[in-house]
Amino acid sequence: MGNNNPDASVWVYEYGEAYDDLRPAFFIDERIYSDPDLAETVVESAEAALTRAGIIYEVEVTSGKYATRPIGVPTWEEFKQRHFVEGVPLPVRPQPRELILPPSWQQMVRAVDEAYASFRAELIELLTAAFPDRELSVSWDRGPLRRSPGSVDWSEESFGFEITIDASIGDLPAEVALDRVSATLGQQGWQLADPVEVRTGVAVRGSRGLYTVYADARPLRLSLVGKSPLWRSPADPGSDFVIEPR
Amino acid sequence: MVRLLADHAATDHRLNATEALLDPGRRPRALDLLVELARTATISQYGSLSDFLVDNPGVGNLFDPVSDGINTTPDGASRMKAFEAAARLRDSVRAVGPNPTPTELTLLDDYGIRLRRRVLPAAKREIAALAELLGGQALVSARAKKVNDLLNKVTRMTSDRPNRPARPDYRIGDIIDAVGVRLTVPDMATLEIALGMVKERFGDRILEIENMYAQPKAQAPSYRVIPIIISIETDGLPCTYELQLTTQRASIAADIEHNTIYKPYVNIDEIQEAAVKDAMREAAALDQLESIEQDDDGQ
């Protein structure tokens, strides 16, 4: 059995609790079905089941010579048996019809954005002070991001940010560059561990409150990575947002 | 990579990179790329990626800035926004917001079916036809969002969230990547040909190009991909899809970064994080060097 259609597809269904945080649920390989109509019926049956369950999902398809069965992902038949016949609950919850914002949501959003702007400015000032005559570049800074799994209950989502700034140190020895930035961090109240040798050079970790930094010096470059704690807005009535360590 | 593979095997988060490692046919090339990215032999000679780019400017059409006429109308408006405004008049489902009425939900059901049964196959077919012309190593994959996925995006986009002020007017039609197609090519020469072919074949149907080779993103300067929004009409109704053009090298580097740093599905320490960022920089540098070497060879 199996169809010989050279354009037969493999459909991989991914589900989750946020459109931007999906993972594989199951796949359907049209090539194992005797004809295209039967394969299409199976695809429609799978989609009807997921839609009825109110689940957030999307579908990826590869066809013809590009069609590849995903490794480690159950087939639709296995998935259906487990969740819709045996009744094992789906690991993702349906999207509620109406969004209920946690009480401190707006305050949390403002707090995260303000903390981000302030921390970014501090890191740039810090490296400018340590290397006043060197060029700085921001090499990773996506702003505040969700740092927990996406959730249909927004009180379960937490947010934080990471910023990496590089200083071109030219012929300055890595150890000297690290000493310089360590001194500046110390003046700003950062508690630093002892420097350690790493494959590329020398590095030091530091913390201040719930924030952390990691400075990594190597020939030609010093990178300073700053990380925030995580903000979350609980669902409890009247509650304020919370700031938690990573 | 071992931990990314374990995450993949646990069916948590698959990546094209881990799929390639698990596929005997694609494994050798994926391993070669991983080795060159891990060595960071090129970027370690420079203080930063920007220093490298200054010393090694990219060569060829891939590094030409996107011309104004592609993304904007003669009066400076976004062509994509102009398309969406016109499309909304022809297809009312595109104006559905975060709290749909029962009637709008019916329209949305139809839209979800249309995306999967009509738009997705049509978009995939036209990109697969291009891939055929590029030779056997160009890979095509496509995906479509479903109704709850679309509504979830509209709900999130119309609400204030950290780093993203609410866009109260955001509607279903604004989800320009409701259907997405990815074309992954083996090298920079093929990427340049692919971009040229896309421009020639789709012409005015291209509503927006964001070329990160010509204009890297400020917040992630080592990320390399070319997203292109293309309009498509099926059954007399307007729609769009997002085509992503990328090289295998850039795809592997971006995949590793995506599941460790951008979305920390796999927790890594600071030393590993530095190595991942170095691999991203190395990928950007090697793609750039490849464009120069190809030009030197007269290609």
Residues in chain B: 299
Q: Where are the beta strands (DSSP E) in A155-233?
A: 158-160, 162-170, 191-192, 196-198, 201-208, 211-218, 220-227, 230-232
- The fraction of chain B above a pLDDT of 90, given in percent, is 70
Q: Assess whether A112 and A74 both reside in one domain.
A: no
The per-residue pLDDT for B17 is: 77
pLDDT digits (tens, 9 = 90+) for B135-158: 877 889 999 999 999 999 999 999
pLDDT at residue B298 above 70? no
The per-residue pLDDT for B13 is: 75
Q: A199 in a domain, yes or no?
A: yes
Q: Assess whether A78 and A152 both reside in one domain.
A: no
Q: Assess whether A224 and A109 both reside in one domain.
A: yes
Of B149, B162, B262, nearest to A109 by CB-CB distance is B162
Q: How far is B203 from chain A (nearest CA, A)?
A: 26
Spatial CB neighbours of A182, under 8 Å, sequence gap ≥ 6? A192, A195, A204, A206, A215
Q: Which alpha helices (H) appear in B158-187, and where do they start and end?
A: none
Q: Which domain holds residue A40?
A: 9-85
Q: A33 in a domain, yes or no?
A: yes
At A214 the three-state DSSP class reads strand
Residues in a beta bridge with B217 = none
Which chain B residue's Cα is nearest to A227?
Answer: B270
CA atoms of B104 and A242, how far apart (whole Å): 38
CA atoms of B151 and B277, how far apart (whole Å): 34
Contacts of B270 in chain A (CB under 8 A): 203, 205, 214, 216, 225
Contacts of A142 in chain B (CB under 8 A): 163, 219-220, 262
Query: pLDDT tier at B225 (50, 70, 90 boundaries)?
Result: very high
In this prediction, the residues of chain A whose per-residue pLDDT falls under 70 are: 1-4, 6
CA atoms of B244 and B231, how far apart (whole Å): 14
pLDDT digits (tens, 9 = 90+) for A129-150: 999 989 899 989 999 999 999 9
Q: Which two tokens stand for residue B168?
A: 């109260």
Q: Assess whether A129 and A68 both reside in one domain.
A: no
Split into its structural domains, chain A has a count of: 2
Contacts of A200 in chain B (CB under 8 A): 44, 274, 278
Q: A234 in a domain, yes or no?
A: yes
Of A63, A135, A168, nearest to B124 by CB-CB distance is A63
The per-residue pLDDT for A151 is: 97
Q: Assess whether A169 and A207 both reside in one domain.
A: yes
Distance (Å) of CA B102 to CA B34, B165, B172: 51, 28, 15
State mean pLDDT over B21-46.
Answer: 88
Q: Assess whether A33 and A136 both reside in one domain.
A: no
Q: Where are the domains of chain B?
A: 2-59+254-296, 64-249
Q: What is the largest CA-CA distance in chain A?
A: 74
CA atoms of A136 and B47, how far apart (whole Å): 10
pLDDT at residue B196 above 60? yes
DSSP B165: -
Q: Assess whether A147 and A240 both reside in one domain.
A: yes
Closest to B163 in 3D by CA, of A112, A165, A118 = A112
How does B90-112 read in b/e, with b if 16+ C-beta sit within 10 Å?
ebebbbbbbebeeebeebbeebb
> What superfamily does domain B64-249 belong to in CATH?
Beta Polymerase, domain 2 (3.30.460.10)
Is some CB atom of chain B closer than 8 A to the CB atom of A109?
yes
Q: How far is A77 from chain B (nearest CA, A)?
A: 16
Q: Most A CBs within 10 Å: which of B149, B219, B267, as the mutation test of the A interface?
A: B149
pLDDT at residue B200 above 90? yes
Q: Assess whether A77 and A109 both reside in one domain.
A: no
What CATH number should be reported for the domain holding residue A141?
3.30.2030
pLDDT digits (tens, 9 = 90+) for B75-131: 999 999 999 999 999 999 999 999 999 999 999 999 999 999 999 999 999 999 999
Which pairing describes strands A220-227 and A211-218: parallel, antiparallel, or unpaired?
antiparallel
Q: Would you tell me how many other CB atoms lie within 10 Å of the CB of residue B61?
A: 15
Which pairing describes strands B237-247 and B179-185: parallel, antiparallel, or unpaired?
parallel
Q: A1 in a domain, yes or no?
A: no
Supply φ then ψ for residue A46, to 5 degrees: -65, -45
Query: pLDDT tier at B4 (50, 70, 90 boundaries)?
Result: low
Supply φ then ψ for residue B140, to 5 degrees: -120, 130
- Can you give the pTM of this predicted structure? 0.91
CA atoms of B206 and B117, how far apart (whole Å): 22
Q: Would you tell me how many other CB atoms lie within 10 Å of the CB of residue B198?
A: 22
